[in-house]
Each structure stands twice: as C-alpha cells, then as structure tokens.
Structure 1
C-alpha cells in the first residue's frame, strides 16, 4: 500500500472523527492533515491494525487541540477580566477629587447628627445590618429604628441642600458659575 492509497482509504474516517470531536470544519481539515503527516513520519507499514492506530492518533490530536483551545479560552477570559478590573480601578483625577470631597462632606454631615441617630445610620449603612438587627443591637423597637433612620437621612439631606445652596450663591457672587 502506498501513502496515497493509505490516505484515500482512511481520510474520510479521520476527518469524520476530527469533525465529530471539534465541531469545526476548518479545524477538522487541519487536524486530518496533521494526522496523516504524523502517520507518514512513522513506520506505518509495520502496524497490524492500521485503521485503529490512525484513529487513535486522530483522537489524541483532537484531545490535544481541545485542551489547547480550552487553555486559550481560559487565558483570554482571565485577560479580559483583568482588563475590566483595571479599567474599573483606573479613575480620572477629577473623579477621585470629587469622591473625596463628597466623602468629606458626608462625614461632616454625619458627625453633626445626634448620637442616637448616628448609631442607627452607622449600623445600617456601615455595618449593613437589617432594621431588625439594629433594633436588637440597640434594644429598641423596629419602629423606632425606622423613625430614627428617616430623621437622620432627612437632617443630612436638608444640610446637604443648604451647603449646595451656599456654594451656588458663592459661585454666582464670584462669577465662577
């Protein structure tokens, strides 16, 4: 049997196996070619069960390709995830400054609250406790927690609006708006 006869005899079986494993026409054609290159580089005339031997080579090459593709996909997804995290973490200087100013402004407003209200706000938004958990921690009814939280937020909102009105008046006065 010549190499051409061997190729003609097993080409369809190898291609079918590769296509079934890879589900991609181009990859199956490429691997089919690679299988026969591998076969022809070895002493294929001495193999007793030629078809089984060739199909085992095809199967092994398909599995290797699937592993490579899976590793590439994993690497690509890791790179994409890293890129997303990097772009999220990179903030403009303006954004950082605005966040810092807002944080300082909120902290200032927060410190002006009476202790009872400050306790409820802290437990709710910093401690991330539920209303029932706050009530249990402070030994007060849930209704009291709700009213204190509402009152605290109302006070902070009012003071924030006053601060914004003052800054707008200042901008108009100095012509910076």
Structure 2
C-alpha cells in the first residue's frame, strides 16, 4: 500500500486527477472515522474529510516521498480535528457509529463471550462507563488513545502524525490508560 500511495501522490502532483481520486477513495473512510471519533459529529467529520483532501491537493508539492503517505494524511486530518476541538472547547467521544449503518459502536462491536441477557446488561453498562470515562480524558491523551486503539497506528506512526518523540507518545498512552483505570475504579 505504501508504494501505491507514493506512486499515486506523484501522479496526482503532476496533474493526474484519476490518481488523486484513487487517493481519496483509499483514505476518505479512514479519515472520516478518525474525525468522527475525535469530534463525535457527523457533519464536522465530513467537513474535516473535505478539508483534509483540499489540503492534501493544494500541498502535494510539499509531500516528502521518503515518508509514508498515510502518516502525512493522518497528520493533516488529526491536526484539523485538534484545531476544531480547540476552537469549540468541548469533549469528544469514542462511541461513534460504525460505517455499517447498524448503529453499533466500537465497544459494542467487541465480541462477547457472555450470552445471557443479564450479562449483556452488565456489559452494556460497563461499556457506557468506559465511553463516559474516555470523554473526560484530557485532550493530549485522547488523541493518542484514539490513534492507538481505534486507528490501530503503531507508536512510531503516532509519533510521526503528532510530531512528537515516541517516548512522549508512550508516556501519554500510559498516563491516559492510568487516568481511565482510576476513573473506572471509582465508578465500577
């Protein structure tokens, strides 16, 4: 995928609209899910996707082919989301609906080994507590948690996206998990 991205970016830079359209197809859903999970608002997530691709298109000449295209586009999308959050100064959540349209969220998509209705109610209540606790995470921890656990990026990729050392990413991930653990211990 990395070589394909780079090749498409080169073609798009030289004016190939079809190549840019392919990049959009490859990344529009990924950027949408990232934005929706960070902003928890469909309309804003759609705006972020559009703005991300507008910035990609207008800045293709600045793309460094030595780095992964995915890192570059995730950095653009993440920074746009962080800017939007700073402007509105409210929390965001990870309980975004998934693209399958069935109203399920990331937590309810986790497979459960419990089959009884009682256990399902307990699980649902626990998931709600987790969602509520994640909403209270400080912004600097939320971004790292979202990129690591929902976008499944490696520590190095998160470091590249957020332009921070891997050691800082590890620290923020650890502190974010500690924050959640303490918060959940008090409510569960």
TM-score, structure 2 as length reference: 0.38
TM-score normalised by the chain length of structure 1: 0.41
